[in-house]
Amino acid sequence: MTFKQVLSFFLTGATVLSMSATALAADTASDVAEDTGANTVVDGLETALPADVADTAWYAPAVHYVLEQGLMDLAAPVDAGFWPLHAVSRQAVADALYRDAKNRDEKLTAGAAGMGIREMADYADIGQDYYLAMTFCFDAGILTGDDEKRLRPGKTVSREEFAAMLTRYLGLLEENGLTETVPGDGMAVQEFTDASQISDWAADSVAFCLKNGLMNGNTDGSFAPQGNVLRAELAQVLRNIASDAGR
C-alpha cells in the first residue's frame, strides 16, 4: 500500500477559499456530497452535516468522515459548528492522529507512559481532553518540544510543522506494517519560489509529504511553510489517508 495516489491538497487559507469541486475531480463519484433536502448524502450515507458545512463544499465528505469515525469533534457543539476554516492547534492535530492510530490498532496507543512529557515546561497547559493524545504523540516522537522544553499545545500548526508530524506518524504506521511509503525527493522542495523559507529541520518532511502525495504547493509556485493548517484540511488529509488504506 502506498500513498502515491493520495489526493493532493493545499493548506493555505487563500487556496481553501478558491478550491472547488474541480480540484477534487480525482475522487470517485461516491465522494460527492448530494443535497437531499434536510440531509446530505456523503459516501453513500445520509447524514446531517454541521450547520457551517455546505453540502457542496469540497471538504464536506471529509468532515462527514472524521465525525463518523470519531477522529474530530464539532468545534462549537452549541451551534453545531465545525468551523472548517479555523486554524488547528498542535494539541488538536495530536488528538486527531491519536484517534486515527487507535482506530487502526489500539496497541499503537496502549503503551504511552507519559513520564517524559511531564518534564516539559508547559505540560500543565495541555487541555484536559488532550492529555492522552499529547502523551501518545510525544512518546512516539510525532510531536516534540522546542529549545525551551515547551510543547506549546495551543499554538497553531504551520504547514511545515504539519509535514513533520505527518512524516513521523506515517513512519510509525509503516514500522507497524500498516502502510508503505517512498522516500522524499529533496530536489522537488527546491522548486518552490519560497524554498529558502522552509526550515532546515522541515525540508526532508516536506519532501516526503510531496513525494507521497500528502501535500502540494500552491498555484503561485510557493509552499507557504509558515501558513496555518485549517480544520477542513486536517479532516481532508485524515480521509485521504484512510481512503488509500481502503478503510
- pLDDT tens-digit map of 162-194: 999 999 999 999 999 998 889 999 999 999 999
Per the domain annotation, does 28 fall within a domain? no
pTM of the model: 0.78
Per the domain annotation, does 157 fall within a domain? yes
% of residues, the chain, pLDDT over 70: 77
Q: Which domain holds residue 82?
A: 69-245
Query: 35 has which bridge partners?
Result: 40
Per the domain annotation, does 9 fall within a domain? no
Q: How many domains does the chain have?
A: 1
Per the domain annotation, does 6 fall within a domain? no
Per the domain annotation, does 219 fall within a domain? yes
Residue 47's pLDDT band (cuts 50, 70, 90):
low
Task: Tell me what pLDDT residue 112 has.
Answer: 67
Per the domain annotation, does 187 fall within a domain? yes
Per the domain annotation, does 98 fall within a domain? yes
Cα distances from 24 to residues 10, 57, 60, 78, 93, in angstroms, run 11, 11, 12, 31, 23
Per the domain annotation, does 52 fall within a domain? no
The residue whose grid cell reads 502523551 is 135
